[in-house]
Amino acid sequence: MMVNPVAGLIGKGVMTAAKGINNLFGKKTKNFSADTRTIEEIGGSYGGSVADINEAASKADTKYGLFSSGSRKAANRLIDSADY
């Protein structure tokens, strides 16, 4: 089956525009950094808490696209739970 090359170019243009809008109007997550002194004090006494702190720090200050607001909100909730 032969695909119309003009339709392919139009489709690529629409996808490029959508990617541009997604990137342009995206938002960043909250800022958070792992305090190494606190992590050393906690050590292994709280199961999984150090892993949660490190995961939150990796997702902090990361830009999510306009169409990824659910993922951004989930990352912000993770940062909030690690911040206490």
Indicate the pLDDT class of residue 5, thresholds 50, 70 and 90.
Answer: low
pLDDT of amino acid 31: 92
At 47 the three-state DSSP class reads coil
Quick: pLDDT tens for 10-39.
667 777 888 888 888 999 999 988 888 877
Burial of 68 per CB tally in 10 Å (0-12, 13-18, 19+): middle
pLDDT of amino acid 77: 94
pLDDT of amino acid 27: 93
Quick: pLDDT tens for 48-63.
778 888 899 999 999 9
Q: Number of helices (H) and strands (E), helices first, in the chain?
A: 4, 2
